[in-house]
Amino acid sequence: MNTPVRPEHSGLPTTVWLASRSPRRLELLQTLGLDVKVFLAQNSPEAEALEAPLENEDPLLYVQRVTQLKLDTAIQAMRSQQLSGLVLAADTTVALHGAILGKPQNATEALQMLQRLSNTTHEVHTAVAGTWLNMNGSTNATKNTVQTSHVEFAILPDHFIQAYIACGEPFDKAGAYGIQGIAGQYVRHISGSHSGIMGLPLFETSELMRHIQTVAQAAKRID
């Protein structure tokens, strides 16, 4: 008889709040056996505005700044609803030669991005931020991490790019592609974290959650 691996077997919390509308991040956390509660402090247009890069902003600094903004926004809204527990926020960006490739707004942008990524290697930065929110509104053990992977694409044929854009998959993804989707067939090599490229690096995120829970529990015992 198989014994299920529960979160407590690996020192993880049983429940976590996810301040993200990404279905991929939700699915990745659920693979760990966590009870994931999605908390959205903003509607889609507001969330998109939060992700706007500053002029000439470094991609690595950008993804960390936006992730912290997402966490802070969620915490503020959760306080007003008297919610508590471990809260996570994350953001992913694709960078090529120091330039940020965000989510394409239309087919022309998607085409340009995919043509730039064809037959080259780019970086995928995923930042994660988390904290423990107490019932009194205070926070413990806020921690941040960022994971960088390198993705090498083979040549993306023009007819594939056109069909890929027509299917609609590129439009909610940084860099206009998802490695777990149809475009994955042209990924020649990755160096880093496959789950990080998808939107949430499981190793780094698990380490972050274990740290937050340990510190929060220690603080509770002292109180």
The pLDDT tens digits for 38-65 are 999 877 677 778 888 999 999 999 999 9
Determine the Cα angle at 66 with ends 79 and 100, to 5°. 165
Tokens found for residue 11: 């020192």
Is 91 a known active-site residue?
yes
CA dist 196 and 194 (Å) reads 5
3 pLDDT above the threshold of 70: no
Examine the pLDDT at 1 and tell me if it is beyond 70: no
State the first-to-last Cα distance of the chain, in angstroms, to the nearest integer.
42
> CA angle 168-92-58, nearest 5°?
120
Check if the beta carbon of residue 122 is closer than 8 Å to that of residue 190. no
CB-based burial of residue 84 (10 Å sphere; 0-12 exposed, 13-18 middle, 19+ buried)? middle
Given a cut of 50, is residue 119 above it in pLDDT?
A: yes
Q: What is the pTM of this model?
A: 0.93
Nearest CA to 196 out of 41, 92, 78 is that of 92
How would residue 5 be classed by pLDDT, with cut points 50, 70 and 90? confident
Look over the chain and give the mean of its residue pLDDT values, rounded to a whole number: 94
pLDDT higher than threshold 60 for residue 161? yes
Report percent pLDDT > 90 for the chain: 87
pLDDT at 218 over 90: no
- Is the pLDDT score of 93 beyond 70? yes
From the list 35, 58, 72, 91, the catalytic residue is: 91
Q: In the predicted model, is pLDDT for residue 222 greater than 80? A: no
**Amino acid 223: pLDDT:** 60
Whole-number Å distance between alpha carbons of 25 and 91: 10
